[in-house]
Amino acid sequence: MSRLTKTHVSPGAPGSGTFRRTLGLRAVAVTAALPLMLTACGGTDDGVAEDGSWAPTQAIEITAPAATGGGWDTLARTSARLLEEEGLVDHSPQVVNKPGAGGAIGWGYIANNAGDPHKLFVTSPPILLVPMAGDSDHDHNDFTPIARLATDYMVYLVAADSDIETFAGLAEQVESGDLSVGGGSGPGSMDHVALAGALQAAGADATQANYIPFDGGGEALTSLLGGHVDAAVVGVGEALGMLESGDLRAVGVSSAERVDAVAEVPTLVEQDVDFTFDIWRGVMGPADLTEEQVAYHETLFADLMETEAWKEESARLGWTDAYQGSEEFGVFLDDTRGEFAEILTEVGLQ
Amino acid sequence: MGMLDQLLYGFSIALTPENLLYVFIGVLAGTIIGILPGLGPMSAIALMIPIAYGMDPTSAIIMLAGVYYGAIFGGSTSSILLNAPGVAGTVATSFDGYPMALKGQAGKALAIAAVSSFVGGTIGVVGLMAIAPSLASFAVSFGPTEYFALMVLGLTAVVSLGGRNLTKGLISAVVGVIVALVGIDSQTAITRFTFDRPELYEGVEFLIVALGVFALAEVLVMLNRRGKGGVRKAVTSLRLSRGELARITPPTLRSSVLGFFTGVLPGAGATVASFLAYSMEKKIARDGKSFGQGNLKGVAAPEAANNAAAVGSFVPLMTLGVPGSGTTAILLGALMVLGVQPGPTMLTDNPGMFWGVVASMYLGTVVLLVLNLPLIPVFAKVLNTPRTMLLPLVVVFCVVGVYGLSFSVFDLGLLAAFGAIGFLMRRNDFPAAPLILGLILGGLMETNMRRALQISGGEWSVFVTEPISAGLLVLAVLSLLPSLVRVVRRRPAAGTPAEVSAPVDGSEERTPTPRG
């Protein structure tokens, strides 16, 4: 449904999921009761200890500003489950889905709960791109960065029998205007920015690119398979199956160093195209949190990422750990926004 | 007989007591959730995802697949009994199913739905088994150009769904297309008709419109009649005579095949399939005029098609890793969380899962039939519920269904608005079906047309130079010809005594269609 939000769900290696997990029915009860359990916080106990540190007095609620089954939902549910299983929290965290408007509905919900330290949400590049497109009443400045957790990358694909061998070759043909490039999200959103930025870095005129937006990376890939478009840009996770089967060929990946899952694909940087693009994922909270509250959550997620279970899960989902604490994450968000703005201005979308 | 071996291997997986239980749980849960108006396969699967998280991946997908086709089947029950389709794919079922229920043939309509769903599902599974790997190339042969042509063909169904007055049908369809335009345009990221409401950025959810113009409007109509009229007759038996079975067999078989292939296309799915099947059968049938008034074939065709399509949509999911519909997209998400990457390599990397799922689908359709035939009389009793109880319940289910989708109060307002629109349409003889058709196909048609033109550099000729697209467009023109000829022929004759005395509804003669 969401047109702006890309729900990048990255898989693990095929066949690696045969182990069983024993989560049981608790998660069911939690989800089933979601809408009913949005109890107001407050009360007399504000969770501040004598030494001034803070700890939650009730269950932390993690909002996925999208429907179940997407990338944000996966992140929210995975972290909630591991936080509980690893015994890092006293109350089982609850996952709340607030789908709509590419995330803006969920962000609105969090914004309305400013100062509530028990309400976090999962986030990724759309928190910058959707507001830049003017489609959200709130942008990343309205929230408190907690931590950046993991990242995934973009991959640039052509058909297996294409005569294009390198990203430079792709850029050259795209610039000539007779090559169409499919992506899984609307103009001005992730896939388009990842394409335009890379073209620009390769010295091509990104405004000449014939970018065709599809509803999701999968659709873009089928169109490429069927020869309806000539190239595609999607998340690594989405393309994994078709790269493995040899139906499609990658001419570049947007990471700084090669990605394990697609180790044979050269990075753009290796090809002298100075561009990287991260599909980072992180956690943010509402505005007006105290230093102590931020510190608590920051440590909580840092601890989570130290656990074996997290490492196992994130490897399976194809994520690369990319932890940043609150302050660092905030700076990163500002920088990235600037970078995006530059690219969008360049292609005439801002 | 490599395939047979593999299928047996699949059955050996699906027939373990544990997995058999999951098939049963999935189908049962799906049916129950699907029966509730407003809750469709998407909500059903979303509700079951948390349960699936803790399970073995093969068992999980077996259960979720059961939920999927169980919900599609359950949806037909509320379409027939309450005119409240909970699933887009069963909207077409209500066109003849609900009139049948009004005539006291609810049992029969449900039985037809069960049987033709079974046939559709079975043919779909056989297709999935036999030709899934080779179908991948068929699925990718459809690009934006071809989808545009397919949607045009689908929209020609307006002529057959439009009821007595073609003009009103067309107006209704255009309104549907306009509603489909609401939201952020996926091609330019510009908001259209959103009135600065973020709730409208992703467009108007199909289900809200369907529940509004069908279920709520029906409630309002009944209220307006002060509870008089409508279903009063006792529910007849569900037994089908041999003659009736013979009548629905050819449409069921045709629709199953059509449905399967439509389902295989990632951009089409069960809803498009059911509409295509319905309008195809209406055109083929000699008694096509009685479609919409409780024709058995009008129930059999969309039911066979939507179940076959539900199975067909597993082809792109499992062979390409591309979801063919919103529901399979959710399923894909669930699979990935379970550590399974469906895609071209799944058949070789994970044959146990592929064949296990295929075998479980076969079991699932059987379970569905066995489970539902004895339950039909129970379901049909719903109609004996006193009006004073039933109407509020329908409203409650609509509200819960819509709210459960987005937790948005705004959507409830939309539901009420579409209920009012539906009521006014009913009062003024505007058919609701074309509106739904326009809503479903209009958006897809527009997006794909613009994509195709963007790829071709603005060259309109692509639609006729691409063979598949040209073929579909020719079909569309052909399917419009009879109606056009009729309109053109009638025009000079209008007003002659012979024409007036023709046994047609009088109101139509007083308002001749202004254009061809």
Is residue A6 a part of any domain in this protein?
no
- Residue A46 pLDDT > 90: no
Give chain A positions within 8 Å (CB) of B459.
none
pLDDT digits (tens, 9 = 90+) for B357-404: 788 888 888 888 888 888 888 877 777 778 788 888 888 888 888 887
Nearest CA to A214 out of B194, B327, B143 is that of B143
CATH classification at residue A189: 3.40.190.10
> Residue A115 domain-assigned?
yes
Percentage of chain B surpassing pLDDT 70? 88
Residue A339 parent element (H or E): helix A326-346
- Are A268 and A317 part of one and the same domain? no
Residue ending a domain, choose from A256, A277, A298: A277
DSSP-based three-state secondary structure for A134: coil
Number of domains in chain A: 2
Structure tokens at B92: 């077409």
Query: A222 with A211, same domain?
Result: yes
Three-class DSSP labels, A43-69: CCCCCECCCCCECCCCCCEEEECCCCC
Structurally, chain B folds into a number of domains equal to 1
Q: How is B37-100 classified by DSSP, letter by letter?
A: TT--HHHHHHHHHHHHTTS-HHHHHHHHHHHHHHHHHHHHHHHHHHS--SSGGGHHHHHHHHHH
Please check whether residue B361 lies inside any domain of the structure.
Answer: yes
Instruction: Answer yes or no: do A86 and A223 share one domain.
Output: no
Residue A41, domain member (yes or no): no
**Which of B186, B330, B332 is nearest residue A215 as measured by Cβ atoms?**
B186
Domain extent, residue B230, equals: 2-491+500-510
Whether A24 and A146 share a structural domain: yes
Calculate mean pLDDT across residues A212-235: 88
Write the ipTM: 0.77
B11 near B58, Cβ under 8 Å?
no
Q: Are A258 and A182 in contact (CB under 8 A)?
A: no
Question: For tokens 């990104």, what's the residue?
Answer: A206
**A272/A301 same-domain check:** no
Residues in Cβ contact with A101 at an 8 Å cutoff, skipping those fewer than 6 apart: A4, A130, A135, A136, B198, B199, B201, B202
* Nearest neighbour of B330 by CB, restricted to A2, A68, A210: A68
pLDDT at A266 over 90: yes
How large a percentage of chain A has pLDDT more than 70? 85
Percent of chain B with pLDDT over 90: 17
Residues constituting chain A: 350
C-beta atoms surrounding A305 within 10 Å: 17
* B13, B356 Cβ separation under 8 angstroms: yes
Residue B319's pLDDT is 80
Instruction: Let me know whether A201 and A320 are in one domain.
Output: no
User: Cβ neighbours of residue B314 under 8 Å, at least 6 residues apart?
Assistant: B65, B128, B132, B328, B357, B361
Can you list the positions of beta strands (E) in B62-189? 183-184
Same domain, A119 and A161: no
Sort strands A210-213 and A61-64 into parallel, antiparallel or unpaired. Answer: unpaired
CA A330, distance to chain mean position in Å, is 16
Residue A173 lies in a domain: yes
Residues in chain B: 516
* CA dist., res. A209 & res. A154, Å (int): 17
Query: Are residues A157 and A147 part of one domain?
Result: no
Tokens of A21: 């997990």
Q: Under a CB-based contact definition with an 8 Å cutoff, are residues B469 and B462 in contact? A: yes
Q: How far is A135 from chain B (nearest CA, A)?
A: 7
B492: pLDDT strictly greater than 70 = no
**Mean pLDDT of the B321-326 span:** 70
Q: Which two tokens stand for residue A112?
A: 């309305």
- Provide the 8-state DSSP code for A231: E
Facing residue for A241 by CB, picked from B47, B56, B343: B343
Q: Which residues, 6+ apart, have CB-to-CB distance to B368 below 8 Å?
A: B27, B31, B69, B70, B73, B114, B117, B118, B121
Residue of chain A whose Cα is closest to the Cα of B206: A1
Distance CA A294, CA A179 (A): 48
What number is the average pLDDT over the span B460-476? Answer: 91
Residue A201 structural domain: 153-277
pLDDT (tens digit per residue) in B167-190: 888 999 999 999 999 987 877 777
In the predicted structure, residue A21 carries a pLDDT above the cut 70: no
pLDDT at B235: 59
DSSP class of residue A95? E
Whether residue B54 and residue A316 make contact (CB cut-off 8 A), yes or no, is: no
Fill in the DSSP letter of residue B515: -
Query: Among A255, A277, A299, where does a domain finish?
Result: A277
Question: For position A28, which CATH number holds?
Answer: 3.40.190.150
Per-residue pLDDT, averaged over B146-161, amounts to 84
Closest-CA distance of chain B to residue A5, Å: 11
Instruction: Provide the pLDDT for residue B491.
Output: 64
Same domain, A96 and A23: yes
d(CA B257, CA B482): 25
Task: Say if the Cβ atoms of A30 and B50 lie within 8 Å.
Answer: yes
Give B346 to chain A, closest Cα distance, Å: 8
Kindly state whether residues A61 and A209 are assigned to the same domain.
no
Considering only CB atoms, which chain A residues are within 8 Å of B399?
none
A5 in a domain, yes or no? no
Query: Is A78 domain-assigned?
Result: yes
B200 φ, ψ (degrees, to nearest 5): -95, -5
CA A254 to chain centre: 14
Domain annotation covers residue A3: no
In a domain, B285, yes or no: yes
- B320: chain A residues, CB-CB within 8 Å: 218, 221-222, 225, 241-242
Alpha-carbon distance of B106 to B231, in angstroms, equals 10
Q: What is the pLDDT of residues B49-65, one digit of tens each?
A: 767 767 787 888 888 88
Distance CA B106, CA B146 (A): 39
- The answer on A223 and A76 residing in a single domain is no
Question: Where is the domain boundary, A254, A277, A300?
Answer: A277
Closest CA to A122 of A139, A146, A141: A146
CB contact under 8 A, B184 and A135: yes
Query: For chain B, first and last CA: distance in Å?
Result: 56
Residues A21 and A146 occupy one common structural domain: yes
The predicted model gives A126-148 an average pLDDT of 87
Does the residue B515 lie in any domain? no
Question: pLDDT class for B496, splitting at 50, 70, 90?
Answer: very low
For residue A1, being part of any structural domain is answered with no
**Per the domain annotation, does B51 fall within a domain?**
yes
Domain-located, residue B24? yes
